[in-house]
Amino acid sequence: MPGMGPGMGAPMAPYGVDPITGLPFSDKSKMVAGLLQIFLGTFGIGRFYTGHTGIAIAQLLVGWITCGIWPLVDGILMLMGKVTDAQGRPLRD
């Protein structure tokens, strides 16, 4: 649709549209998700924030076994924009 780019008021994409995939951006921020995951990831907080309850519970249960490596790597991936929200939408900047 012409004139319906990011921030142009698309009703189904209030945070804009990813120019690469064409998917609407999530209402969740990748900065917030990544920082929550890096600092509180052993408790699965970043994944709870993005809506991935199953992964969050798994991190809560086995995060201590991985010595915090899994949540740290997951947080970095969130900051890089490689993780989506539970609906498959890319996290917004």
Q: Taking the domains of the chain in order of start, what are their residue ranges?
A: 30-80
Prediction pTM value = 0.83
- How many residues can be counted in the chain? 93
- What pLDDT score was predicted for residue 3? 45
Residue 9 φ then ψ, to 5°: 85, 25
Is the pLDDT reported for residue 84 higher than 90?
yes
Rounded Cα distance between 27 and 66, Å, is: 30
- What pLDDT score was predicted for residue 77? 97
Tokens at 88, concatenated: 């498959």
Tokens at 79, concatenated: 């900051």
Q: Taking the chain, what is the end-to-end CA distance rounded to the nearest angstrom?
A: 23
Single-letter amino acid, residue 61: L
Token pair 């996290």 is found at: 91
For residue 92, give the nearest of 8, 1, 13 by alpha carbon.
Answer: 13
Model confidence over 41-73: pLDDT tens digits? 999 999 999 999 999 999 999 988 888 899 999
